[in-house]
Amino acid sequence: MGSREGHGAGAASPGTGKPRPPAMVSRLARELARRGIETVYCATGEEARDFLCRAIPPGTEVMTGSSATLAAIGFEEVLLSGGYDYYRPRIKALDDDRERIRLRRRSTTAEYFVGGVNAISLTGEILNVDGSGGRVAGYAYGGGKVYLVAGVNKIAPTLSAAFRRLRNQAAAAECRALGRRTPCAADGVCRNYECYPPERQCGKVLIIEKESIPGRITLVLIGENLGY
Ligand code: SF4
């Protein structure tokens, strides 16, 4: 089970027997709490998967933002096992393009929205970039309860460092995975003004700076390097 950090985080719960989260994690949890975002720290991907299984009731409506981290911790597999009303297989099963787009749009307002993160600044901003924008739409407002899942490798010291990570590391890796011929895929350096559709992957960038609805966003931070 993940040791819940939550508001005012800074140490593992006494008597849980869990290892104390790294100081950097406690500092980040405090910054996020000031911005209305809860943090749950899990030492391993397995703990994070088990936490999500307990947090999201079986049978409920779930959508995910595509995420190498969710696949790596085995949560994508859990969702596909059939115990949830999971949008992705329903979308995939549709042949009609317009119907598929309609269901994709509806999925951005799923009761539970779970996904990865491209970068997090130690000052508490959470950054994501999408090609189409479905994921960031769910994160920003659509999803009822949002769980953002990230390894500690996603943490950057400042907002500008987090933005560089988003472009030169996360988007570059995504472009390579998708076979896009973008400047970043070639040498790991974003040249934004030389990058255009249809090859360009970056479409919409979201910086979460605060959450107004109490308890809506939880960052599930994992003490491992996961995703890209
Ligand atoms: S704007 Fe283009 S070059 Fe820059 S990170 Fe995005 S896809 Fe890569």
Q: Is 182 in the pocket of ligand 1 (CB under 6 A)?
A: yes
- Look at residue 89 and give its three-state secondary structure: helix
Domain assignment of residue 228, yes or no: no
Q: For ligand 1, what atom is nearest to the CA of residue 167?
A: 5
The enclosing domain of 67 has a CATH number of 3.40.50.10420
Domain assignment of residue 28, yes or no: yes
CA of 199 to the centre of ligand 1 (A): 9
Q: Which helix (H) or strand (E) holds 8?
A: none
Q: For ligand 1, what atom is nearest to the CA of residue 195?
A: 2
Domain assignment of residue 152, yes or no: yes
pTM: 0.91
Domain that includes residue 45, residue range? 3-222
Sheet holding 204-208, edge to edge: 155-156, 119-121, 126-130, 204-208
Count of domains for the chain: 1
pLDDT tens per residue across all 228 residues of the chain: 344 543 334 434 344 556 667 899 999 999 999 999 999 999 999 999 999 999 999 999 999 998 999 999 999 999 999 899 999 999 999 999 999 999 999 999 999 999 999 999 999 999 999 999 999 999 999 999 999 999 999 999 999 999 999 999 999 999 999 999 999 999 999 999 999 999 999 999 999 999 999 999 999 999 999 999
Q: For ligand 1, what atom is nearest to the CA of residue 201?
A: 7
